[in-house]
Structure 1
């Protein structure tokens, strides 16, 4: 089962950690340099990197680490920090939207919400044989999406202040026309009918503006999982991608979630608020349970689908650590802005315990 990873990064002033509008320069300088694709994002302070299609976690890690090293060198030369964070600690007051008709239309459609959309995600595409299989996998993933958010939560600050949330990015996203756990669908036709009804509603101008945390890709034969915050380090991104690919692979092995939509979306809010710190809504019971218990269930569910020793090692270490990026950011910020800037810079190319590369 092939997969690909998209990572979003924000460019920050190293002293104040405010966004700086150098995204276009990064894209011009790094496009075509190495595997994968680098592209502009919604704001001029953001960029996105997409890996090539990957067969193994080692393929993904080589691609991510290769790009991150090039980005780190570019940032050092430019005197900025390239940060894998769900939100910047200091948001720009009136951020500049990247040029282009599509970005301009989205900014117009969402109005005053546009300025707050300084958020960065990790998106994982998993190859599917057909759209009906993708819908079945989407249904199966529904109760696991809050767990993935808690594991990946990496945005505790906004406007220079502690939000009390592990993923403030997820809270920002809730204000868009569509967000959260998608409905259950009978099949691909049911999915397509629902999407067609949404076009023209609110800020949903096309399939690309459907903002569910998992959706069928409108461009590729993939299921796109969009629930995760951008990650500090490449090993976290790779481990999350391996977990997501394994969960998609379980779709044919288990009955899909049957819990009502409201509790499922409430579980997503709970994960954004508390991360891994207290409880998570148990995917199999729908009731709060200790986070470590839920992570053990996730491990047991995905372990049979992890393909190679290094993939298992990466996922095992990630789940055993049970510390998300929000916790790392809070620890660094307690020592001041310079320490947080150092965390962003050093984490960009850090392989933590269980990483696959040498």
Structure 2
């Protein structure tokens, strides 16, 4: 267990000169014959020969994390991820989903190393049920105060993002009745869910220090909230999305998050629902996905209506952020359904095995020029 000591020194927030963008996505490597999780992270990384700043391993063996450098636009970031998917697909098939839909209970191996050993020993069976995979979107913030103001405002958008990004309805081969089983797993962990609003950056830093002093959270990277300031990168990190199979869905969601984060950072602080209401709305979003009803101007409205409202707000920033066409792909996501809806549709047509084949095919059928897709969407 790491030694801890109380300190009143706040975390130093690095700060970004612009509202830059970075994206990390976690994908599951699968056996080419069975399409079941295959493990072997070290072997796969050695075969791929990609730099660790682009592709690395995760706590669960067989989960690969793809990373972008600092980018300016959603299309640029997701284009890089699409290229990395293409390179990895030459080595192994991949599944882009919140959880592998047919993986067996507890068929999980954790990787070694000080960080992962601490996670495994403190979370115990919670990390050994099934691998869970998400998308983490980083938006550059000029300073800690702006990051906290943006985080406080983005808390109100988390249920919508969870509904749009839900992509894990099947769990251990069964329809879970949820749109995002991954969210249930994540919410079973400590330091998870939607955090409270912080008074200012000092309040956030003091909270991190209070948790660190308890001995199982050595630093702020052990905060698994749905969003958090990231002082070392100078960003606000939004962590609410399931991993995505469709690159079109991914670029649409990244563009929406980028615009909304800039909106919250550059607007006066606003009141969002209280923590109890946000927790309730978050559950409904992860349970019902695109069929959920969420708050809009004080009343419960269908997700699609809330999403159109969000796109309207985001559109004011899209041109400056170079993501207008990508943002418009949110409409396509609403029309054809999110990942959870497509998994269920494919399972109804061809059974679980066919659903899994379609999921793998969609993950590796990368689009390297999202702007061309957006233009085709018309």
Tell me the TM-score normalized by structure 1.
0.91
Whether the aligned pair in 2 keeps the contact of 1:5 and 1:51 (CA below 8 Å) is yes
Task: Give how far 1:306 is off.
Answer: 0.4
SS in structure 1 at match of 2:294:
strand
Q: 2:286 matched to 1:268?
A: no
Match 2:328 to one of 313, 316, 326: 316
Kindly provide the CA deviation profile for residues 322-357 of structure 1, in whole angstroms up to 9, marking residues without a partner as x: 1210011111222123422322232124468x9314
Tell me, yes or no, if structure 1 residue 237 matches structure 2 residue 273.
Answer: no
Q: Name the structure 2 match of 1:299.
A: 311
Structure 2: gaps (5+ residues): 1-18, 374-378
Q: How does 1:1-358 map to 2 (within 5 A)?
A: 1-14=19-32, 16-32=34-50, 37-75=54-92, 81-92=93-104, 93-201=106-214, 203-251=216-264, 252-282=266-296, 284-285=297-298, 287-307=299-319, 311-322=323-334, 323-334=337-348, 335-350=350-365, 355-357=370-372
Q: State the distance in 1 between where 2:119 and 2:110 align.
A: 10
How many equivalent residue pairs?
349
1: CA distance between counterparts of 2:115 and 2:74? Answer: 33
Q: What per-residue deviation string (whole Å, max 9, x for no partner) do you get for residues 16-58 of structure 1?
A: 543211222222223436x951000111121101011111223
Q: In 1, are the aligned partners of 2:73 and 2:321 still within 8 Å (CA)?
A: no
Aligned partner of residue 231 in structure 1, secondary structure: coil
The answer to whether the 8 A contact 1:9-1:83 is kept is yes
- Structure 1 window deviating more from structure 2 (190-199 vs 89-98): it is 89-98
Report what 1:78 is aligned to. none
Q: Take 1:4 and 1:69, find their aligned partners in 2: how far apart are those partners?
A: 19
Per-residue CA deviation, residues 284-315 of structure 1 (Å, 9 max, x unaligned), is 42x42112211111111111010269722222
Conservation of the 8 A alpha-carbon contact between 2:86 and 2:364: yes
Describe the SS at the equivalent of 2:168.
Answer: coil
CA distance in 1, matches of 2:199, 2:156: 17
TM-score normalised over the length of structure 2 = 0.86
Between 1:112-121 and 1:339-348, the stretch displaced more is 339-348
Which whole-Å deviations, capped at 9, do the CAs of 1:186-232 have from their partners, x for residues lacking one? 11101111111122548534311111100011531111000000000
Give the direction of change, closer, same or farther, for the CA distance of 1:308–1:136 in structure 2 (3 Å limit): closer
| 2:291 aligned counterpart, secondary structure | coil
Question: Which digits, 9 at most, give the CA deviation of each residue in 1:258-296, with x for residues without a partner?
Answer: 4211001111111000001242233x42x4211221111
**How far apart in 2 are the matches of 1:326 and 1:224?**
23
Gaps (5+ residues) in structure 1?
76-80
Alignment partners' CA distance in 1, 2:32 and 2:158: 33
* C-alpha contact 2:75 2:370 (8 A) present in aligned 1: no
Indicate how the Cα distance of structure 1 residues 91 and 201 shifts in structure 2: closer, same or farther if over 3 A, else same: farther
- Kept in 1, the 8 Å contact 2:144–2:231? The answer is no
* Counterpart Cα distance in 1 of 2:215 and 2:357: 40
In 1, Cα distance between the equivalents of 2:303 and 2:272? Answer: 21
Judged with a 3 Å threshold, the aligned counterparts in structure 2 of structure 1 residues 88 and 224 are, in CA distance, closer, same or farther, namely same
Deviation at 1:176, TM superposition (A): 0.9
Secondary structure of 1:105's partner?
helix
- Larger displacement relative to structure 2 (178-187 or 22-31): 22-31
Name the Cα RMSD after superposition: 2.2
